[in-house]
């Protein structure tokens, strides 16, 4: 009679990587339909740039990033978060996301490169 033995194997744990938090200086410009009888657009600007701090970057995809930015913009200017989140979910109106990094080693992300994710 053959004896069975059970061998257990425990895989080594992957080393925990930590990503630095990233501080994004953020501005926005939103165009909304005017609330008048005449057709037209009203422009809403952030009064100045404000910081959005991103942490846990390994778990943030583009969709979560968009949602987080919308929430933070809503904290700075009333109703902008709702407008942005609605546009993200419905695709109407289009949001044009621009990104640039102030860092010499990353020339593809310079402001003049007009990078669009």
Over the stretch 7-53, which tens digit does the pLDDT of each residue have? 555 555 655 556 677 788 888 888 777 877 888 888 878 878 888 88
C-alpha dihedral sign at 65, 68, 70, 76: negative
pTM (predicted TM-score): 0.60
Question: Under a CB-based contact definition with an 8 Å cutoff, are residues 100 and 117 in contact?
Answer: no
Give the start-to-end residue ranges of the domains of the chain: 22-113
Joined together, the tokens standing for residue 47 give: 């009064």
Kindly indicate the confidence band of residue 83, based on its pLDDT and cuts at 50, 70 and 90: confident
**Distance in Å from the first CA to the final CA of the chain:** 65
């Amino acid at each position: 009679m053959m004896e069975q033995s059970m061998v257990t194997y425990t895989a080594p744990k992957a080393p925990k990587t930590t990503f630095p938090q990233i501080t994004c200086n953020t501005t926005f410009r939103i165009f909304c339909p005017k609330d008048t009888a005449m057709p037209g657009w009203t422009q809403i600007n952030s009064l100045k740039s404000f910081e959005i701090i991103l942490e846990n970057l390994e778990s943030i995809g583009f969709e979560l990033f968009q949602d987080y930015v919308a929430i933070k913009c809503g904290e700075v200017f009333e109703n902008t978060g709702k407008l942005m989140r609605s546009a993200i979910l419905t695709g109407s109106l289009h949001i044009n996301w621009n990104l640039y990094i102030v860092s010499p080693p990353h020339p593809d992300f310079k402001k003049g490169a007009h990078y669009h994710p």
